[in-house]
Amino acid sequence: MAKKNSSTKYKISIKTGNTVKIISGKNKGKIGEVVKILSKKDKIVVKNINLVTKHVKPKKEEENGQITKIEAPIHISNMMLYNNE
């Protein structure tokens, strides 16, 4: 039997550089600027919101490993366009 594709494609009306407000999740109520749009996954990366820690191993012997914070993508259904007029 063939498998049905149940994923819904969202129409993205948000562009890079727009201001958005998070309406659900752990970052609810926060406002930020859109940095990147991942249209195939229906996700958006917002500046300084949804930060996750990433442990980076050293590339060479004399380098040190480090812990960096990067912005993780948020699903488009969890945010809305924000106008601060």
Residue 62 lies in a domain: yes
* Cα 9 → chain centroid: 17
Q: Examine residue 14 and state whether it is found in any structural domain, yes or no.
A: no
Q: What's the one-letter identity of residue 11?
A: K
CA–CA gap between residue 54 and residue 44 (Å, rounded)? 19
Q: How far apart are CA 65 and CA 24, in angstroms?
A: 34
Domain span at residue 56? Answer: 19-81
Number of structural domains the chain divides into: 1
CATH for 44: 2.30.30.30
Residue 44 placed within a domain: yes
Ordered per-residue pLDDT tens for the chain, 85 residues: 566 665 677 777 889 999 999 999 999 999 999 999 998 899 999 999 999 999 999 988 888 999 999 999 999 999 999 986 5
- Single-letter amino acid code for the residue at 9: K
Residue 11 lies in a domain: no
User: What is the pLDDT at residue 11?
Assistant: 78
